[in-house]
Amino acid sequence: MIACLSKNLSPLSDGDLQQINQFTRRPLSKEEVYSFSLVLCDNEVDRQWERFSIPALKTLQSLFLGKTGIFDHLHVAQNQAARIFATSLESDPARVTEQGEPYTRLVAKAYLPRSQKLEDLILEIDSGIKKEVSVGCAVSHRVCSICGKDRMHESCEHQKGSYYPVKGVESLCYDLLDSPTDAYEWSFVAVPAQRNAGVIKSFSQNHSPLDIRTSLKDLCESLSPDEQASLSRDALFQLLDYISGLDRLAELGRCYRQDLVEQSMKFSAVAHPGLPGDVLRRTLDSMPMEDLIDFCNAFQAKAASVLPIHSQFSQSPHAADQKGLSPFQI
């Protein structure tokens, strides 16, 4: 399973440093540590036609805490580069996977010491060269999505990546990975298997509200009640740009809503002339946008049935008498 890295969301907090120092022989200072965030895995089907169940992701959340980061899954000591010091599970109810589940991902925070040896790696992470990662773990169940057989204990005739009829619908065959028993490591790799692999940029207009909310949530949760948070100058400008973009979208939304109200008032005057205008306006002003759109469409349809509207270039019933000039009648 492949995942991705995100840039530092903020200067290292005291809470982060405290978590990191649980894994060090001596307490490290903020100046000695570089940290970054990464998505380890999610519940989408990857290019190897496998996916984790949500309960499996919850189990991996604890199993990956403290696990080391290496390169290309080569299990040698000199290959160690970073270590995970915090994990969390994130779900986005607004995003649904092809299997009908809320999109869910396992997010981790990792650290490495600032040293001359690792300067190049830090630069490669910051520049986006090193970003894809792959996890190494063990599961006790690999369930075929077509027949439900556990391929860890029995074989079946279905091939991953192929489609088979299930209740009259062509369905993709994949392995559902469940009941993890161990997490070995996570590795920087060159070729990702997971389709959603990529850099997660925080505080950017080009990223979803999920990323922004997650960034702020992670920062808040890392603070103790009496701590204060701080953001870098670059992060502040990116956040301001994002808020400005939301302000522009909000203004367009307000204009669109006002136009819907005015259109509804006009159509209502034709469709329901006895309805008091002030009562209708108060009702429209308090409606959710979805209801307002439905009311406007309904009023428009009713008004069209009461007072049909024709194009000024539509043909007259007496077009045959106009010697070919009817398309130009107004």
How does pLDDT run across 163-194, given as a tens digit for each residue? Answer: 999 888 899 999 999 999 999 998 888 765 65
Check pLDDT > 70 for residue 214: no
Q: Give pLDDT tens digits for 110-160.
A: 999 999 888 898 888 888 888 888 888 899 999 999 999 999 999 999 999
Strands (E), 191-285: none
**Which uninterrupted H or E stretch holds 153?**
none
- Mean pLDDT rounded to a whole number for the chain: 79
Distance between CA 50 and CA 2 in Å, rounded? 11
Q: Is the pLDDT of residue 197 over 60?
A: no
What is residue 205's predicted lDDT score, i.e. its pLDDT?
Answer: 36
**What per-residue confidence (pLDDT) applies to 66?**
95
Regarding predicted confidence, which is higher, 42 or 299? 42
323 or 64, greater pLDDT: 64
Torsion of CA 176, 179, 182, 187, to 10 degrees: 30
Span 309-329, average pLDDT: 46
Residue 85 pLDDT > 50? yes
pLDDT of 291-311, one tens digit each? Answer: 888 888 888 888 777 766 444
pLDDT at position 268 over 70: yes
Contacts of 160 (CB under 8 A, 6+ apart): 48, 49, 50, 173, 174, 175
| pLDDT for residue 316 is more than 60 | no
- Choose between 229 and 196: higher pLDDT: 229
| pLDDT exceeds 50 at position 207 | no
Rounded to an integer, what is the distance from CA 188 to the centroid of its chain? 22
Please tell me which residue, 317 or 252, carries the higher pLDDT value: 252
Confidence (pLDDT) at 230:
63
The pLDDT, as a whole number, for residue 7 is 40
Q: Is the pLDDT of residue 60 over 90?
A: yes
